[in-house]
A and B are shown apart, each in its own frame.
Chain A
Amino acid sequence: MKKRMLVILLAALMLVATACSGGTGTGAPGTGGTNGGTGSTGENEGDNTSSEQVELRVMWWGDQKRADRTNQVLELFTKKYPNIKVMGEFAPATGYFDKLNTQLASGTAADIFFLGGNVVDYANKGVLLELDPYVGKELDLSDMDETMVKYGTLGGKLLHVSAGANARGIVVNTKLFEQAGIPVPQDGWNWDDYARISKELSGKLGKGVYGTYNFTVDGMDIALKQNGAQLYNMEEGKPGFQEADALKWFKYWESTTASGGVVTPELAVSNPPGDPSKSLIVTGKVAMSLIPSNQLAAHQSLTEDPLTMVQLPRGPKGTGVVFESSQGLSGYAKTKHPKEVAMLINFFINDSEAAKILGNDRGVPVTSKNRALLEGEASDVDKIVYDYTSRVSEATKTEPFSVSYNPPGFAEFSKLAETTVQEIGFGRKKVEQAVKDFYNGTLTIFESNQ
C-alpha cells in the first residue's frame, strides 16, 4: 500500500517537472523549422534573398477594414517571397499599446509593430531595431521624403519608418451648416470665429445638436505652437510651456462651452470623437471637430452627409499644423530576422501593388512614386484629403512649425489632460485650480518618464 502511494507520488512529481519546464520550451519551435528549410531548397544559393524559411509577426492597431487591407498586403508579400511566412495580429487602438507593452516586457513582441507619435517612448527604452545597416540594401529610402526619414531617426539612429503622412484639421459636416444657413468656414479664420460659429450652430440647429466637439486635449500641442510654445522640448528634455499657456487654452474651451456651442461632457464620454463608429460628426449631431486627415475617409464612409476639411483657426503664429508622419513601422530589437524585417518594411512603403491596396488609410504614402500613383485614381474623399494636405504643405512654407512627437509618458499625460477637461466640464474644479493641478502633474509625468 505504501509503496503504491510512493509510486503515484513520484509519477505526480514527474508531471510537475514536465509541466514547469514546458513553459520555457515554447519559444523554440520557430527555429526548428528554419533548419529544415535550408536543407530542402539549397539550389538558389546565388540569389540575394536567402532561401531560409523564416516566420515574421506583424502587429498593428485599427478597425476591421484596415486589418483586411493589411492582411492582403502581407499575403502579397508572402507570394513574392515564398520563404517568408508572415503572421498579422491586430488590436483596436484602445488596447493596442497595453498589449504591445506586455509583449515587450515578456520578450514576445512581434518582429514588426506599428507606432505613432509615441515612438519616442519606445526609442528611449531601447526596444527598437536599428535599421541603418539595411538602408540602401533591403530597405530603399531613396524615394521617401527627407522629412519623413528624419522623423524616424531618433538619437542618430533610424528606428522608425513612416507608413503614411497626414495633417490634422477641422472636419466639417457641411449638411449641418446648410441646415443652419451658415456658410462653411474658410482657411484663415481665427479662434473667435470658431467660438462664434459653434455657438450659432448650436443655437440654430436646436436641442441635441452642437457646434463642435471639445478638443482641448487633442489640440493642445497645436494651440501651444500657435502661441510660440510647445508641449515638450525634446532637445533640452523639459516642458515647452508654462502654466499660463495651458490656462489660456483651457479657459477658451470653458467659455465656448458656457456659451452652449460645445458637446456636453456626458455625450462626449459615450460618443468619443476618436472612434469614427461612435462619432457624433457621423450621426449629424456635431458639426465640427479636430481629426487627422487620414481619418476623413473612415468618417465619410459612415455617413451620407458630405464632409470636408478646413485648416485650423489661426493663432498669433499661424495654424500650428504640419504635414507629418501619422504612424509607421518599427522592428523589434530582439527579432531573429532583422534583414527580413527590413524587407517587409521596404515592401510596405515602396511596392506599388501594396500602395494601391493600402490606399490612404494610414495617411498619404510617403514615397513620391506611390503618392503620384494614388493621386491618379483618387476618390472624391481622397481628393478632399489631398487638397487639404497640399494647402497645409503650402502654408508651412511661409509659417514653418516643428513636427510633433508625443512627450514622454504620453499615455499617462493624455489621461491626466482628459481628466482635467472633465473636472472642469462636470463642474468639480474651477478652471484655474484644475489647470494648476494639471501643470504640476504634467511636470511629474515628464520627469519620471525621461
Chain B
Amino acid sequence: MGTSRKSLAREQNATAYLFLLPWLIGFFCLTAGPMLGSLYLSLTKYNLLSPPTWLGLDNYVQIFTQDDTFSGSLMLTFKYVFISVPLRLAFALLVAVALNKGIRALGIYRTIYYIPSLLGGSVAIAIVWRQIFDGTGVVNKALSLFGIQGPSWISHPDYIVHTIVTLSVWQFGSAMVIFLAGLKQIPADLYEAAEVDGARKRNQFFSITLPMLSPVIFFNLIMSVIHSFQAFTPAFVIGDGRGGPLDATMFYTLYLYLKGFSFFDMGYASALAWIMLLIIGVLTAVIFVTSKYWVFYGDNKDGR
C-alpha cells in the first residue's frame, strides 16, 4: 500500500494527541483556567469574601518596593534550593554508584532507598522529623553521648532551615533510581578500554561516568530545582505554620499561602504566585541554555 508520507504523519499526530488527551483535559480544565483567573486576581484587591476590586499593578509595585517579607522569603527559598539540590543529587549519585557494583538483592536496596521519596512530602514524616530534631530529640541525645550539647534544631532560627534541608536530602530515592537506570546505560566497553589503558577508578568516574550521565543529571537537576522551589509541607509542619521562628521557615510558597488564606489578601498572593512562576521559568531557561556546555549526549550532535 502506497500511503503517502503526509497522511502517515497526520495519522501519527492524531494518535499522539489521543494519548496526550488526558493531560490536555487536565491542563485546560484544571490548570489553564485557574492560572488565567489568578493573573486577573493579581491585578486586584481581593479579600476572598467580597468581590475583587481593580488595582492595576499596585500589588506588584508593593511587593517589589515595600515588602521585606517577600525579599526575606525569596532569599530563604534560594538558599534552600542552592543547598538542598546539589546535596540531594550528590547523595543520590553516590548511592547509585555504590548500588551499581552488581551487589546481590539490588531490588530490595533500591526499594528501601526509594521509599523516603514516596513518604517525604507527607505531613507524618515532617512530624517525625520534628521529634527527631527537637531539643530533647534523638539527634541531640546521640550528640550528648559524645559530650556535645546540641542546639534546639527546630526552634532556633539559625538551624531550622538545615533541618528542612536534611529532610529534602533524605528523599534522594527518586533521583537515585533515575541515576541507577542511567548508569546501566553506560556501555561496559568504555570502562574496559579505560582499564586496559590503566586509568584509575577516580579518573574513570570523572572521564566516563559523569559525561555519559550528564543528560540524566540535567534531567534530575531541573526536576529537583522546580520541586524544591515549591517546598511547602516541611516548612509548614516543622516550623510553626506561620513561618516562625523569626521567618526562618517562611518559604516563598508558605508566604503566598498565608497571604492568601490567612491574611485575606488573595490578590497579593496571586501576584506572588506569578512572580514565582517567572522565577522558576527563568531559572529553568538558564539551566537549559547552559546545558549545551556541559551536557554530553554521546551521539556527536553537539552542533545541532
Q: Point out residues on A near B: beta carbons under 8 Å.
A: 1-2, 5, 8-9, 12, 15-16, 19-20, 94-95, 97-98, 101-102, 104-105, 121-122, 125-127, 265-267, 269-270, 272, 409, 411-412, 415, 418-419, 422-423, 426, 428, 448-449
Interface residue stretch chosen among B172-180, B190-198, B262-270: B262-270
Contacts of B241 in A (CB 8 A): 94-95
Q: Point out residues on B near A: beta carbons under 8 Å.
A: 11, 14-15, 18, 21, 25, 29, 47-50, 134-135, 151-152, 154-157, 240-247, 257-258, 261-266
B242 touches A415 (CB 8 A): yes
B50 touches A12 (CB 8 A): no
A267 touches B135 (CB 8 A): yes
Distance of A228 Cα from B157 Cα, bound (Å): 36
Q: Return the contact of B262 from the options A269, A412, A426, A448 (Cβ within 8 A).
A: A412
Shortest A22–chain B CB gap in Å is 10
Shortest A412–chain B CB gap in Å is 4
Distance of A122 Cα from B49 Cα, bound (Å): 9
Interface of A is mostly: helix
Most B-side CB within 10 Å, residue of A101, A422, A428: A101
Distance of A97 Cα from B14 Cα, bound (Å): 48
Contacts of A448 in B (CB 8 A): 265
Contacts of A97 in B (CB 8 A): 262
A426 touches B155 (CB 8 A): no
Contacts of A125 in B (CB 8 A): 47, 49-50, 264
A105 touches B48 (CB 8 A): yes
With CB as the reference atom, state the residue of chain A lying closest to B243. Answer: A415
Contacts of A94 in B (CB 8 A): 241
B262 touches A411 (CB 8 A): yes
A270 touches B152 (CB 8 A): yes
B245 touches A426 (CB 8 A): yes
Shortest A436–chain B CB gap in Å is 14
Distance of A126 Cα from B48 Cα, bound (Å): 12
B49 touches A9 (CB 8 A): no
Contacts of B264 in A (CB 8 A): 101, 121, 125, 409, 411, 449
Distance of A418 Cα from B248 Cα, bound (Å): 13
Q: Return the contact of B18 from the options A5, A272, A423, A449 (Cβ within 8 A).
A: A5
B240 touches A102 (CB 8 A): no
Distance of A19 Cα from B247 Cα, bound (Å): 41
Shortest A283–chain B CB gap in Å is 11
Contacts of B258 in A (CB 8 A): 415
Most B-side CB within 10 Å, residue of A2, A94, A415: A415
With CB as the reference atom, state the residue of chain A lying closest to B48. Answer: A105
Q: Return the contact of A269 from the options B11, B245, B265 (Cβ within 8 A).
A: B245
Interface of B is mostly: loop
B262 touches A101 (CB 8 A): yes
* A419-B21 CB under 8 A given contacts A101-B264, A270-B154: no
A422 touches B245 (CB 8 A): yes
B18 touches A266 (CB 8 A): no
Shortest B237–chain A CB gap in Å is 11
Contacts of B247 in A (CB 8 A): 419
With CB as the reference atom, state the residue of chain A lying closest to B245. Answer: A269
Shortest B249–chain A CB gap in Å is 10
List 19 A-B residue pairs with CB atoms under 8 Å apart, sorted by A's residue number: A12-B21, A97-B262, A98-B261, A105-B48, A105-B49, A105-B266, A125-B49, A266-B151, A266-B152, A267-B135, A269-B152, A269-B244, A270-B134, A411-B262, A412-B262, A415-B243, A415-B244, A418-B244, A449-B47
B49 touches A266 (CB 8 A): no
Distance of A126 Cα from B51 Cα, bound (Å): 11
Distance of A371 Cα from B229 Cα, bound (Å): 54
Shortest A102–chain B CB gap in Å is 6
Q: Return the contact of A126 from the options B25, B50, B265 (Cβ within 8 A).
A: B50
A270 touches B155 (CB 8 A): yes
Distance of A419 Cα from B243 Cα, bound (Å): 9
Shortest A260–chain B CB gap in Å is 18
Shortest B245–chain A CB gap in Å is 5
With CB as the reference atom, state the residue of chain A lying closest to B47. Answer: A125
Shortest B35–chain A CB gap in Å is 16
B49 touches A269 (CB 8 A): no
A19 touches B245 (CB 8 A): no
Contacts of A98 in B (CB 8 A): 257, 261-262
- Nearest 4 Cβ contacts at the A-B interface: A269-B155, A125-B49, A270-B155, A105-B48
Q: Return the contact of B246 from the options A104, A409, A422 (Cβ within 8 A).
A: A422
Shortest A332–chain B CB gap in Å is 11
Distance of A340 Cα from B258 Cα, bound (Å): 34
Shortest A426–chain B CB gap in Å is 6
Shortest B133–chain A CB gap in Å is 10
Distance of A126 Cα from B50 Cα, bound (Å): 8
Contacts of B156 in A (CB 8 A): 266, 269, 426
Contacts of B48 in A (CB 8 A): 101, 104-105
Distance of A20 Cα from B50 Cα, bound (Å): 26
Contacts of B265 in A (CB 8 A): 448
* A266-B135 CB under 8 A given contacts A20-B29, A419-B244, A422-B245: yes
Most B-side CB within 10 Å, residue of A1, A269, A418: A269
Distance of A422 Cα from B247 Cα, bound (Å): 10
A272 touches B266 (CB 8 A): no
Contacts of B18 in A (CB 8 A): 5, 8-9, 12
Distance of A9 Cα from B11 Cα, bound (Å): 13
B29 touches A16 (CB 8 A): yes
B261 touches A102 (CB 8 A): yes
With CB as the reference atom, state the residue of chain A lying closest to B25. Answer: A16
Distance of A419 Cα from B49 Cα, bound (Å): 27
Contacts of B49 in A (CB 8 A): 101, 104-105, 122, 125-127
With CB as the reference atom, state the residue of chain B lying closest to A412. Answer: B263
Distance of A426 Cα from B152 Cα, bound (Å): 13
Q: Return the contact of A267 from the options B11, B155, B243, B263 (Cβ within 8 A).
A: B155
Q: Return the contact of A422 from the options B21, B50, B152, B244 (Cβ within 8 A).
A: B244
Q: Return the contact of A265 from the options B15, B50, B240, B245 (Cβ within 8 A).
A: B245
Distance of A448 Cα from B154 Cα, bound (Å): 33
Contacts of B135 in A (CB 8 A): 266-267, 270
Shortest B226–chain A CB gap in Å is 25
A419 touches B152 (CB 8 A): no
Distance of A419 Cα from B240 Cα, bound (Å): 12
A5 touches B14 (CB 8 A): yes
A19 touches B25 (CB 8 A): yes
* Contacts A265-B245, A272-B240, A411-B264 known; 16 new A-B pairs at CB < 8 A: A5-B15, A12-B18, A12-B21, A94-B241, A101-B262, A102-B261, A104-B48, A125-B264, A126-B49, A266-B135, A266-B151, A267-B135, A269-B154, A422-B157, A422-B246, A423-B246
